[in-house]
A = this chain, B = another copy of it.
Amino acid sequence: MQILEGIRVLDLTQIYQGPYAAFLLAMAGADVVKIEPPGGERMRRGGGKETPLAFAMLNSNKQSLTLNLKHDDGKALFLSLAKKADIVMENFAPGTMDRLGIGYDVLARVNPRLIYASATGYGLSGPDRDQLAMDHTIQASSGIMGATGEIGGPPARAGGTPCDIMGGIHMHAGILQALLGRAHTGNGTLVEISMQESMYFVLASEFTYLHATGKLPPRRGDRTNTVTTPYGRYECSDGWIAVISVSENHWRRILEAIGRADLIGDPDYADNKNRHAHEDKINEMIGDWCRGLTQKEAFAIMRKKKIPVAPIRDLKDVRDDRHMHERGMLQNFEHPYLGPIVLPNSPIRLSEFETSELRLFPEPGADGTAVLGDWLAMDGQTISGLAERGVI
């Protein structure tokens, strides 16, 4: 069986954060209806071939219903659906749903069992509540940008959109907590996620450095600020590898791997403290060894020695990763207009419960008739009328 079988979700979320949370609900078996403005979510851009792959990645296994929430009849229709829903989720700026007349207070009165989830940049209270938030600005305000970058260089973005996805998975977890809570009390709740707050623990090592030294940890792109040595990135003839030594055994095996077994037992490198004092020399030795090898070769030798090592992969390597394809995390699809694409599955696996089969994202409004028929027993004529009046 599937864990969220029979759970009905009205998903008003957009871009990355909320859609990730809703995608994970869908993969656990919930019926997720993506509510889009007529024409579709802005992230579809021009539609057709212009639809970004990211939209496909984040909206698999959802149904689509277009709905004009600024139209009185659209609002009424949304309220009728909310009466039948278990979950309403949105990641608009704080206050947007209230202004539309369909905020938490209104919906909770209409359906006391409803779980209402809000994901914003800074949460629904506090002095920064109304600051505009995207992954970029949250990277800045959460400290991630300040902690990313090269020695002496400017603060830099962490690759991708970690804040969006971190907010999204926290939203997903918050909704699951609410479902567990409702099983006890019979009542819904407001679930509130702040992207900024969801990033705080990412900097645990940096906060530790600040606490221990009273100083701000300097940025450095190759490692974190600990004495653990070696710990870095090393350039091979055709790419890079990342290596870290977390035990004396690792260090010994690294020396063997790079052909410097003669240094085993050398007091200069006796422990992390000593090695840290000779970090440049150590990095040079490993770097020299890597330069004469391809990424694959260096990785294979170190891996065989059970050293913590990984190739620093480019996106093609990641997308085509044999391991993730074999595990079913990544799957190949042929999409009518996007062509051959790789779609990711849910990273949450439970041995005794089924995950949904991955299904391609819907066209805007593709499931309008089905959803309004199923949820509200609406007939075809009524639905056509709504479409004619621009409500759906």
Contacts and interface: CB of A to CB of B under 8 A. Distances in A.
Interface of A: 1, 3-4, 16, 20, 24, 28, 52-54, 57-58, 122-123, 125-129, 131-134, 136-150, 153-162, 165-166, 168-170, 172-174, 176-181, 183-185, 187-194, 196-198, 200-208, 210-212, 216-217, 219, 221-224, 231, 233, 235, 240-242, 244, 246, 303, 306-319, 322-324, 326-327, 329-330, 338, 341-342, 344, 347-353
Nearest to A132: B308
Contact of A134 (B168, B222, B308, B329): B308
Nearest to A177: B3
B132 A177 contact: no
A314 B216 contact: yes
A202 B162 contact: yes
Contacts of A125: 326-327
A148 B158 contact: yes
Nearest to A2: B181
A326 B216 contact: no
Contacts of A303: 131
Nearest to A7: B180
B180 A159 contact: no
A140 B241 contact: yes
B184 A1 contact: yes
Given A201-B20, A222-B156, A127 B323 contact: yes
Nearest to A303: B131
A154 B1 CA distance: 47
B189 A353 contact: yes
Given A148-B148, A148-B221, 4 more contacts: A136-B308, A159-B219, A192-B351, A193-B348
A315 B147 contact: yes
Among A20, A166, A338, max chain B CB count under 10 A is at A166
Given A159-B219, A184-B1, A308-B137, A235 B154 contact: yes
Contacts of A183: 180, 183
A140 B312 contact: yes
A385 to B, nearest CB: 34
Given A197-B324, A242-B145, A173 B315 contact: no
A3 B181 CA distance: 5
A177 B352 contact: no
Given A132-B307, A154-B233, A313-B140, A53 B246 contact: no
A324 B319 CA distance: 37
Contact of A198 (B28, B144, B222, B347): B347
Nearest to A195: B347
Contacts of A223: 136, 157
A127 B322 contact: yes
A312 B145 contact: yes
Nearest to A188: B352
Contacts of A210: 53, 315-316, 319
A133 to B, nearest CB: 7
Among A58, A202, A246, max chain B CB count under 10 A is at A202
14 contacts: A1-B184, A16-B201, A20-B201, A53-B210, A57-B204, A147-B159, A159-B202, A162-B166, A166-B169, A191-B349, A194-B329, A197-B327, A200-B347, A216-B314
Contacts of A126: 323-324, 326-327
Nearest to A6: B184
Given A150-B156, A158-B158, A184 B3 contact: yes
Nearest to A133: B308
Contact of A159 (B158, B188, B192): B158
